[in-house]
Structure 1
């Protein structure tokens, strides 16, 4: 994302991801479809913050194997991770991608930006 300004990111999000979304639910569905299309699974990720809704600890690495089957919340996107002997959903905002392709990195970085800023374009 060399040289990209927040304005450029805002434009891309507005014009490519949430272009026809008007409500919080529509935006959540648009984000879910976008992330599913842009991310290449599986990939490795590291937990960047502990959350009460997830058993992952900070700096723990896990394979991300897909998106969850449903949109759980309009404020969070959940991805499936393999952890110990099972798969379950954790918030994408809890994870930092490691060695991934540029589309996956950009999609996750855009989500972190959008989510961290409270979806201010909505």
Structure 2
């Protein structure tokens, strides 16, 4: 059951811009991948909300979101590459886009991430 109320504007954008020509799961995943890659203005600052393995509490870590992860990594979910603030240059991690809370981003970036969260909240699958 969907946890997010239906939004006709988002539904229209998803159908006509993101998954318009998709014939299968991979096409839908790549539609989302390229839409997000085109619309999100990388890099940007964010909080990475991730569950601690030891305590199951949610930790918030400040990160810089560098870009979309490799296409092959995004066939089941959308992932981005992130670097910890103050971390080593080569210390790059992959995070689910849904675990990222953007900080002070432009309208297109906000809308694209909100579209992805809407898709997930509605329970849609590739």
Shorter-chain TM-score: which interval?
A: 0.7 to 0.9
TM-score scaled by length of structure 2: 0.79
Give the deviation of 1:51 after TM superposition.
Answer: 7.3
Higher Cα Rg: structure 1 or 2?
Answer: 2
Write out the 4+ residue segments of structure 1 that deviate beyond 3 Å after TM superposition. Answer: none
Highest RCO, 1 vs 2 (Cα 8 Å, sep ≥ 6): 2
The number of aligned residues is: 113
Structure 1 unaligned spans of 5+: none
Structure 2 unaligned spans of 5+: 1-5
Do the aligned partners of 2:33 and 2:74 also contact (CA within 8 Å) in 1?
no
Alignment partner of 1:68 is 2:73: no
Q: CA RMSD in A?
A: 2.0
Do the aligned partners of 2:30 and 2:71 also contact (CA within 8 Å) in 1?
no
Q: Larger strand proportion, structure 1 or 2? A: 2
TM-score scaled by length of structure 1: 0.82
